[in-house]
Amino acid sequence: MTATAARTPIPLSPPVPRWAEWSAKAVPWCVLPSGLWRVAVVVGMLFGWLEGEASIAEEAYMLLLTVVSELLALLTLGLVRPWGEILPQWIPLVGGRPVPVAAAVVPAALGVLAITSLLAYVLLNNFLFHYHPEPVIGSDGQDPAGVMSTGWVLGLSYGPLLAWAPLLGAVTYSYYRRRTAAARAAA
């Protein structure tokens, strides 16, 4: 008797709702603009940012943050794909086994909490507690460092991140409901 034959059958989950599929696909796209902004800053495309001020370590951090955040965003797809319910066969020792519901839901829920906390901190810090006594625009009405135009790019790049936590939370809840419904139906 083989090891796969000895395993209990895995109950199939209900189909993924269309809204959950679209929400999971939207998460990496919400994270991408901020990553592209950081890459543009590192390569020097955004005037007024880091011009000769950043060290190699700071630039490496920005690039690493971009890669890590996009990989974490892509993990959201596991909540709507079969590999989020049953581990792929090519994974040694555990391939073909079901993913425990808590193994997916707990990290995703902690991710929602972490993203929400981080974004709340950034928003509160920048918009409520960060006071600029000097005017951003010069007395002659000019914008010498390109702060205003770069600010628009920054806002457009980081604005979509506000959707990351709610989308991940909704997809996580959908995953939990589907997987526990399958377990209840099998019992």
Enumerate the domain spans of the chain. 17-85+98-130+145-186
83/28: higher pLDDT: 28
Residue-level pLDDT at 144: 47
121 pLDDT more than 60 = yes
pLDDT in tens, 33-63: 999 988 888 887 655 555 556 678 888 999 9
Residue-level pLDDT at 9: 53
How far apart (Å, rounded) are the C-alpha atoms in residues 39 and 59? 9
How far apart (Å, rounded) are the C-alpha atoms in residues 12 and 106? 21
Q: For the residues 164-171, what does the mean pLDDT come to? A: 96
The one-letter code for the residue type at 62 is M
Give bridge partners of residue 86 from the DSSP assignment. Answer: 98
Please tell me whether the overall predicted TM-score, pTM, comes out greater than 0.85 for this model: no
Work out the percent of the chain whose per-residue pLDDT is above 70: 72
